[in-house]
A and B are shown apart, each in its own frame.
Chain A
Amino acid sequence: GQNIDQPTEMTATEGAIVQINCTYQTSGFNGLFWYQQHAGEAPTFLSYNVLDGLEEKGRFSSFLSRSKGYSYLLLKELQMKDSASYLCAVRVGSGNTPLVFGKGTRLSVIA
């Protein structure tokens, strides 16, 4: 089976930095995705890693280590609007294979 683990909940202060970790054990690997999902809305794409290393995009960065089956999403200069669920997802095959999602991490940003 596929197993993707994330912390269930996290709380951080406005203006701070938070790191959301994701570990995975899957039958294959063809890329790791991070999505943001506000309550009652569909997920929105944040980042994609297929090679080891750090991908930076504005206030958001994502890191991948394939040998460790590990990724993290780093959010800088937190804003109240960043309060949402963050979903880690793995594409386990090539072609048009679907994403397998972790349970998501609910982040609460407090003043």
Chain B
Amino acid sequence: GAVVSQHPSWVICKSGTSVKIECRSLDFQATTMFWYRQFPKQSLMLMATSNEGSKATYEQGVEKDKFLINHASLTLSTLTVTSAHPEDSSFYICSARDGPDEQYFGPGTRLTVT
């Protein structure tokens, strides 16, 4: 199946700093990628839909100025958590579709804000 990578796999940052997470489709082109967030023992919550060459579409309740998404190419989307706070600590997962059916997930990035 298709491969989606994320970098970094984990990151610890201080409160108030910004963190950038990269999501890449390695063997296919993805005009659309999705960013999810998952808190412990909870399911995946969609944050935003990232569209190559245009603005991301954010879900209700997700601050677009705090979670900056840039879909610079057909294989790369980035999520920047700006002015991070401890409550932003979570597991961030991106996904992309390769074809009409399957949606592949990256390995996730665990963010800890101290």
Using CB atoms and an 8 Å cutoff, list the residues of chain A in contact with chain B. Answer: 31, 33, 35, 40-45, 48, 50, 87, 96, 98-104, 106
- The answer on a CB contact under 8 Å between B44 and A43 is yes
CA distance A106 to B45 in the complex (A): 17
* Number of residues of chain B lying within 8 A (CB) of chain A: 26
Chain A residues closer than 8 Å to B93, beta-carbon distance: 42-43
Given contacts A98-B49, A103-B43, A104-B43, contact A41 B107 (CB under 8 A): yes
Shortest Cβ distance from residue A50 to the other chain B in the assembled complex, whole angstroms:
8
- The answer on a CB contact under 8 Å between B103 and A99 is yes
Using CB atoms and an 8 Å cutoff, list the residues of chain B in contact with chain A. Answer: 1, 31-32, 34, 36, 41-46, 49, 51, 91, 93, 95, 97, 101-108, 110
CA distance A104 to B93 in the complex (A): 16
- The answer on a CB contact under 8 Å between A103 and B42 is yes
- Please, which residue of chain A has its CB at the minimum distance from the CB of B42? A103
Shortest Cβ distance from residue B8 to the other chain A in the assembled complex, whole angstroms:
14
Chain A residues closer than 8 Å to B107, beta-carbon distance: 41-42
